Amino acid sequence: MAETPFTIHGSKSLVLGYGKIGKILSKDLYALGAQTYVEARKYADLAMIEGHGYEPLPLDNLKDHIHEFDIIFNTIPSLILDDEILAKVKKDALIIDLASKPGGIDFDAAKSYGLKVIWALSLPGKIAPVSSGAIIKDTIMNIIKELGV
């Protein structure tokens, strides 16, 4: 919220991708009162998105609706916001890329359009290293247990 002149509550927010991060982020945005839209490719995911009370947005319809959003969160680690789509984004929108490298945004194109983009790589480890370490440890221990080692 420090990066926008408005709050998340009431904003029209888009989450690109409905994987692990997209699912958690969608839930949090919805709980904060954002008009939460979620992009997905799979019909099963689109149905689940709608079932949770979010607005589903099929990937094929992204370029027709991208201009509507105040905040766009990308969780897809491949190019999704290319030059053609970025040209349609509102000039005062905030774009936050949470995806692993290479990310999902054409950063040069975004810069040429004067768009505000934050690439938040390794956010958990930077912000909460103790909690992140505990989660990683638990995951490794679960894998070891499942392998019977």
CA distance 9 to 148: 46
Instruction: Output phi, psi for 56, to 5 deg.
Output: -75, 145
Q: What's the pLDDT score for residue 101? A: 80
Within 10 Å of residue 132's Cβ, how many Cβ atoms?
Answer: 15
119 confidence band (pLDDT: 50, 70, 90): confident
1 confidence band (pLDDT: 50, 70, 90): low
CA distance 97 to 21: 11
Residue 127 reports pLDDT greater than 50 = no
Q: What's the pLDDT score for residue 6? A: 75
- Overall CATH class of domain 12-123: alpha beta
Tokens of 86: 């970025």
Alpha helical stretches, state H, the chain: 20-31, 43-51, 62-65, 83-86, 107-112, 123-127, 129-147
With a pLDDT cut of 70, the percent of the chain lying above it is: 83
With a pLDDT cut of 90, the percent of the chain lying above it is: 64
**Closest of 22, 47, 39, 36 to residue 70, by C-alpha:** 36
Tokens of 112: 């040429």
State the greatest distance between any 2 C-alpha atoms of the chain, in Å, as a whole number: 54
Q: What's the pLDDT score for residue 126? A: 46
Q: Report whether 3 contacts 94 (CB < 8 A).
A: yes
Q: What's the pLDDT score for residue 51? A: 97
Q: What's the pLDDT score for residue 113? A: 97
